Amino acid sequence: MARTKTLYRCSECGSTEPKWTGRCNGCEAWGTLIEELTGGTGAGAPVTMLPPSSPPIQISDVDPTEFNPKPTGVAELDRVLGGGLIPGSVTLLGGEPGIGKSTVLLQAAAEVAASGRKVLYLSGEESAQQVRLRAERLGALHPMLWLATEVALPQVLGAIAEVEPELVIVDSVQTLLNPDLASTPGSVAQVRECTHRLVQEAKRRGCAIVLVGHVTKEGALAGPRVLEHMVDTVLSFEGDRHHALRLLRVVKHRFGSTQELGLFEMAEKGLKGVPDASGMFLADRRLGIPGSVVVPTLEGARPLLVELQALTTPSTLPSPRRSAQGIDNGRLSLLLAVLQQRVGVPTGQVDVYALAVGGVKIVEPGADLALGLALVSSLTGVPLPADLVACGEVGLGGELRQVAHTPRRLAEASRLGFKRAILPFSAPAPPPGIVAIRVGTLIDAVERLDLLPA
Question: Which region, judged by CB under 6 A, interacts with ligand TYD, from 40-48, 134-142, 386-394, 425-433?
Answer: 134-142
Query: Nearer Cβ to ligand TYD, position 88 or 270?
Result: 270
* Separation CA 142–CA 384 (nearest Å): 53
User: Which one of Mg ion, ligand TYD, none is in contact with 266 (Cβ closer than 5 to 8 A by kind)?
Assistant: ligand TYD
| Binding footprint of ligand TYD, residue count (CB under 6 A) | 15
Query: Nearer Cβ to ligand TYD, position 181 or 221?
Result: 221
Query: Nearer Cβ to ligand TYD, position 114 or 266?
Result: 266
Name the nearest CA neighbour of 76 among 99, 98, 97, 107: 107
Kindly state whether residue 139 participates in binding ligand TYD, applying the rule CB under 6 A: no
Q: How far is the CB of 279 from ligand TYD (least distance, A)?
A: 22
User: Which one of Mg ion, ligand TYD, none is in contact with 134 (Cβ closer than 5 to 8 A by kind)?
Assistant: ligand TYD
Report the site for ligand TYD in 84-123 (rule: CB under 6 A): 95, 97-103
Name the nearest CA neighbour of 247 among 412, 86, 411, 95: 95
User: Which one of ligand TYD, Mg ion, none is in contact with 98 (Cβ closer than 5 to 8 A by kind)?
Assistant: ligand TYD
Total H helices, total E strands in the chain: 11, 21
Q: How far is the CB of 99 from ligand TYD (least distance, A)?
A: 4
Q: How far is the CB of 201 from Mg ion (least distance, A)?
A: 22
Do 124 and 151 contact (CB within 8 A), yes or no? Answer: yes
Kindly state whether residue 134 participates in binding ligand TYD, applying the rule CB under 6 A: yes
* Separation CA 298–CA 251 (nearest Å): 16
Q: How far is the CB of 99 from Mg ion (least distance, A)?
A: 9
* Separation CA 430–CA 409 (nearest Å): 9
Q: How far is the CB of 391 from ligand TYD (least distance, A)?
A: 34
Query: Nearer Cβ to ligand TYD, position 35 or 171?
Result: 171
Query: Nearer Cβ to ligand TYD, position 268 or 284?
Result: 268
Using the CB atoms, write b or e for 328-337: b if 16+ within 10 Å. Answer: beebbebbbe
* Separation CA 57–CA 39 (nearest Å): 31
Query: Nearer Cβ to ligand TYD, position 138 or 386?
Result: 138
Q: Which amino acid is at 309?
A: Q
Q: How far is the CB of 363 from ligand TYD (least distance, A)?
A: 22
Question: Which region, judged by CB under 6 A, interacts with ligand TYD, from 23-31, 53-61, 132-140, 322-330?
Answer: 132-140
Cis peptide before 127 (omega within 30 of 0): no
* Separation CA 78–CA 76 (nearest Å): 5
Kindly state whether residue 246 participates in binding ligand TYD, applying the rule CB under 6 A: no
Do 234 and 92 contact (CB within 8 A), yes or no? Answer: yes
Give Cα separations from 234 to 62, 225, 254, 442 (angstroms): 25, 10, 9, 39
Binding site for Mg ion (CB under 5 A): 102
* Separation CA 452–CA 454 (nearest Å): 6
Q: How big is the CA angle at 47 (ends 45 and 52), to the nearest 5 degrees?
A: 145
Q: How far is the CB of 405 from ligand TYD (least distance, A)?
A: 31
**For residue 235, what is the enclosing H or E element?**
strand 233-239
Query: Nearer Cβ to Mg ion, position 125 or 364?
Result: 125
CB atoms within 10 A of CB 18: 9
Report the site for ligand TYD in 7-66 (rule: CB under 6 A): none
* Separation CA 402–CA 423 (nearest Å): 7
User: Which one of ligand TYD, Mg ion, none is in contact with 5 (Cβ closer than 5 to 8 A by kind)?
Assistant: none
Q: How far is the CB of 195 from ligand TYD (least distance, A)?
A: 18
Q: How far is the CB of 415 from ligand TYD (least distance, A)?
A: 29
Identify the residue among 137, 254, 321, 448 touching ligand TYD (CB under 6 A).
137
Query: Nearer Cβ to ligand TYD, position 63 or 268?
Result: 268
Report the site for ligand TYD in 253-272 (rule: CB under 6 A): 266, 268-270
Strand residue runs (E) in 102-207: 119-123, 145-148, 167-171
Binding site for ligand TYD (CB under 6 A): 95, 97-103, 134, 137-138, 266, 268-270
